[in-house]
Amino acid sequence: MTTRVPDPAYPAKDSAVLYGDKGLYARLGKVAEQDGGKDLVESFEIPIRSGKAWVVKKGQLCKLSTPYGPQVGDLNIFSLHNPRERFWATRTRQLHASHVSVGDRLWSNLPYLRPLVTIVADSLKDYGVDEVGGRCHDLLGTRCDPYVNKLLSGDDFDFQCHSNLVRAVLPYGLTEADVHDVLNVFQVTGLNRDGKYFMEPSPSKPGDYFTFFAEADLLCAMSTCPGGDLSVYGWGEDSAQRMLDTCRPLHVAVYEISDREELLKGWKESERPGYKGMHGLKIPVFGQ
C-alpha cells in the first residue's frame, strides 16, 4: 500500500520567488566553505547559558558553529533599521519546511514578508530524517522561557533562552516584547505519532557550522540554550543543574566577501511583495 504524500500548501509560480538565484547562493556556499574569498569582520564566543546580539550588514556572511561539541542555539533576527520587522518562524516553515538547511530562507513578519537571510552552508545538511522522525535545525518549537518553566515545575529559574535573548537585545534599545520565536540551530526535533513535539540530543560535533547570507542589514541575537545539547532534559531547578554539564559555548563569525562587486553582481537587498490593496476597507460588508 502506497502512502499518499500531500502537495505543499504554499507553492510559488516561480521558484525564484522563494529561493532566489540558486546559482548565486551556490557560489556563496563555496566561499563560505573555503578558507579564502572572505575577510573576517567580527568573531566571538557566546558563553554557556548566555546570549549576545550583533550586527550583520547586507551582503555579509554569518557563521554559527559548535567549537567544543553539541550545543543548541536559539536565534532571533531583526531588521537593523526597523526592529518591528523580525524573523517569522511560522511563515518560514510554511514556505520552506519545519527544519531548514542550505537553500532555505528565513522570512520576516507582516507587512514586510521578505527574506532576511538565505542559508548557504550547513555541515549537518545531510542529517536527514533519523530513526524516530527527527530532523535538524528546528522551526517546530520555540525558545524555553521562565514562564513555561514556572507553569510546568513551579520553580523560578532565570536562565532560559527567552531570558538570555532579553538580556542580549537590551543594549540595542529593545525589550522583552521584541523577543520572538526562534530558529533552534543544531537542534533535532519532530512530532511523534500522537502529534506531540519531541526533542533529541544535538548531533553537532566540534567544528560543525551553519552559515547564512544577509539579505538586508540585520541585528541578530542568539542564546546558548541552558539545556545544552539536550541529552538531559527537564524542567525546574533540579533539571537545570543536571543539564549544566551538557552546556558548551557557541561561536559566531561575520565575514565580508572579498570580491563582493563581482560575486554579488546583480544582487540587491530583498524587497517586500508590494501588496497595494487596502485589506478590503473600501469593500462593502459581504452579504449586505
What is the per-residue pLDDT across 87-117, written as a single tens digit (0 to 9) for each?
Answer: 999 999 999 999 999 999 999 999 999 999 9
Q: What's 113's DSSP letter?
A: -
Q: Is the pTM of this model over 0.85?
A: yes
Q: Which residue ranges make up each domain of the chain?
A: 41-259
What CA–CA distance (Å, rounded) separates 145 from 149? 6
User: What Rg, from alpha-carbon coordinates, does the chain have?
Assistant: 20
- Find the helix packing angle between 161-169 and 146-153, rounded to 10°: 160
What CA–CA distance (Å, rounded) separates 185 from 201? 12
pLDDT in tens, 197-222: 999 999 999 999 999 999 999 999 99
Tens digit of each residue's pLDDT, the chain (288 residues): 678 989 999 999 899 999 999 999 999 999 999 999 999 999 999 999 999 999 999 999 999 999 999 999 999 999 999 999 999 999 999 999 999 999 999 999 999 999 999 999 999 999 999 999 999 999 999 999 999 999 999 989 888 999 999 999 999 999 999 999 999 999 999 999 999 999 999 999 999 999 999 999 999 999 999 999 999 988 888 888 899 999 999 999 999 999 999 999 999 999 999 999 889 887 766 655
229 touches 201 (CB < 8 A)? yes
**Which residues in the chain belong to E strands, given as ranges?**
38-46, 51-56, 61-66, 73-79, 82-86, 105-107, 115-122, 135-138, 183-191, 197-200, 208-214, 218-224, 250-257
Residues in the chain: 288
132: left (phi over 0), alpha (psi -120 to 50) or beta: alpha
What CA–CA distance (Å, rounded) separates 154 from 144? 15
